[in-house]
Amino acid sequence: MTRPRRYRALVTAATATAFTLLPAVPAHADAIRDQQWGLEALHTDRAWQTTKGEGITVAVLDTGVDDSHPDLEGQVLPGKDLIGFGAGRGDRSWALHGTAMAGIIAGRGNGPGRGDGVLGVAPGAKILPGRVILESNDPSRTKARESRGTALAEGIRWATDQGADVINLSLGDDSKSAHPEPSEDAAVQYALGKGVSVVASAGNSGEKGDRVSYPAAYPGVIAVAAVDKYGTHAAFSTRRWYATVSAPGVDIVVANPDRHYYIEWGTSAASAFVSGAVALVRAAHPDLSPAQIKTLLAQTARDSPSNGRDDARGYGMADPAAAIEAGAELRRDPAGAGSAAAGHREQYFGPGPAPERQDEDPADWLAPAAGGLGAVLLALAVVLWRGGNTAPRRNNTFATGITGRR
């Protein structure tokens, strides 16, 4: 497929796969909360002794967010649709992935004492939704890929200007022709320069060549790899130089606009967990810069690789509680603060891609590509419903979720 030059094509984040819907009844706590292993893995109970993210805004640039979902009601700020067409509220291909990510970040649960539903990493934070991609089962996806290729870069700048403290990008292009897009890179640097932390999925091409994924590979981004509940690197998670930390990305319970709950996997979820973690750190230490926060996450990560870091898991599992504690010490130590602020001195903090020639025609950046698996690959597996202690499993296919150039 061809498309107008100088545009980046945006594909979906996630789509429902083959499964049978069960009655849309409230999910009981023992069927949802007991399976949210990611909260324990990130030591959220310790971090919540300091803050739950109050006063922090996390922009979720994705497929849209259902602000009426019981787990998110009152948490979602007015957003913006940077696509301008496609499925709308109530359609089966609207806001599936974005709602799932928002729930991981700032879900508050529902029901008596908010004991039911999904609880997020930073339940006190607010969500700023920006629609920059369409679901893969949206009939308008092809049109969006051809005409709204600048939506992601626009969305990053919009979220920054709207006062976001953190931008979550559970999306990416890790197709065979993936390459830096100047407008997106510039937008990321704009956000960082305004004090906004940018978090992105490392990619899901771990079993398909570990292809570089953007926006994860842009300088300054906190790129997140996925691990399972045992802390083991997930086979699908891309291994690359830009991995900063890892987070839960396997068997993750997520909310859906249809009021059911699903179990998914992917570095999308891992990115959302870390965006919630960053929100906690920002709430505890609002004066820290994006570079300082990124350094704190790296320095305080748990279960680090034997040599301190590797491409599979970065510096280890993100630990917001430890980062909050270290942040307090950093603020008391001006020398340490200066060191952290320096961050990574290399443009790509490692053996990254060679810079493009400045005299190149910008259109040459946009080589045609078939859509590969992207950073937001998620397997939508099963519906969790009242009375179940564990989630029954079904064979399923996973959804592609990329921003692939066409």
Backbone angles phi, psi at 325, to 5 degrees: -65, -45
Tally of helices (H runs) and strands (E runs) in the chain: 11, 12
CB 275 within 8 Å of CB 223: no
Which one of 147, 213, 268, 271 is the catalytic residue? 268
Residue 210 designated active-site: no
392 alpha-carbon distance from chain centroid: 26
Distance CA 197, CA 373 (A): 25
Told to judge if 268 belongs to the known catalytic residues of this protein, a careful annotator would answer: yes
How would you class 348 by CB atoms within 10 Å of its CB: exposed for 0-12, middle for 13-18, buried for 19 or more?
A: middle
Q: Active site includes 251?
A: no
Provide CB contacts within 8 A for 192, sequence distance 6+. Answer: 198, 220, 290, 291
Catalytic-role residue among 66, 71, 93, 97: 97
N- to C-terminal Cα separation, the chain: 6
The structure tokens listed for 59 are: 């922009």
Residue in 62, 66, 173, 185 annotated catalytic: 62
Instruction: Compute how many other C-beta atoms are within 10 angstroms of the C-beta atom of residue 68.
Output: 12
Q: What is the residue type of 263?
A: I
For residue 11, give Cα distances in angstroms to 148, 149, 359: 10, 9, 29
Residues classed as catalytic:
62, 97, 268
